[in-house]
Amino acid sequence: MAMLDLFREMDNLRRDIDTVFRGLGRTTPFEPSFLPGLGAGRHPQINLREDSDSLYVDALVPGIDPKDLELSVLRNTLTLSGVRRELGEKATWHRNERGSGKFLRTIELPVEVDAAKVKAECRNGVLRVTLPKSEAARPKKISVKPS
């Protein structure tokens, strides 16, 4: 029996609603505030790669203070949430593409990870999360003995 992943189901529902309202010629109240505009998709944008020991997630978080980011790991799901603060300046905006506000991104990982060994660092607007694979997810080398 498959387990229900509430965050994934909510994200799928939001994307379905976005798809219904996309293309109406104006913005909708359902668009994510992190990166506004038609076709914005899920943000922050990420790269996910792996080697034999770990998974690596690089997320673009320019202009966000690392103390405003939260990460959590449960089995094979990484959740990244945070807030991009509005600029406190009173101004007439001619273009405002960066957006502000809260965001939440749930990333389904291809394997289970060891949550106790996860590391994260933020440098130059890129959040790097290193997720060591659990022992069960690592490839096992089996030697073949001659008969």
Q: Note whether residue 94 is domain-resident.
A: no
Q: Which residues of 43-65 are buried (b: 16+ CB within 10 A; e: fewer)?
A: bbebebeeeeebbebebebeebe
Give the pLDDT score at 63: 85
Domain with residue 75: its CATH number is 2.60.40.790
Secondary structure (3-state) at 15: helix
Count of domains observed in the chain? 1
Q: Is the torsion defined by CA of 100, 104, 110, 115 positive or negative?
A: positive
Q: Note whether residue 22 is domain-resident.
A: no
- pLDDT tens across 103-117, in order? 899 999 999 999 999
Residue showing tokens 């978080």? 61
> Nearest-CA neighbor of 98 among 142, 40, 12, 139?
40
Average pLDDT over residues 18-44: 54
What pTM was computed for the model?
Answer: 0.65
Q: What is the domain range of residue 75? A: 43-85+100-136
- pLDDT tens across 37-78, in order? 433 445 789 999 999 899 999 999 988 899 999 999 998 899
pLDDT category at 102 given cuts 50, 70, 90 is confident
**CA dihedral of 59, 54, 7, 65, whole degrees rounded to 10:** -30
Q: Are 44 and 107 in contact (CB under 8 A)?
A: no
Residue showing tokens 């994934």? 8
Residue showing tokens 């999360």? 129
Q: Note whether residue 11 is domain-resident.
A: no
- pLDDT tens across 113-143, in order? 999 999 999 999 999 999 999 988 777 888 8
Q: Note whether residue 59 is domain-resident.
A: yes
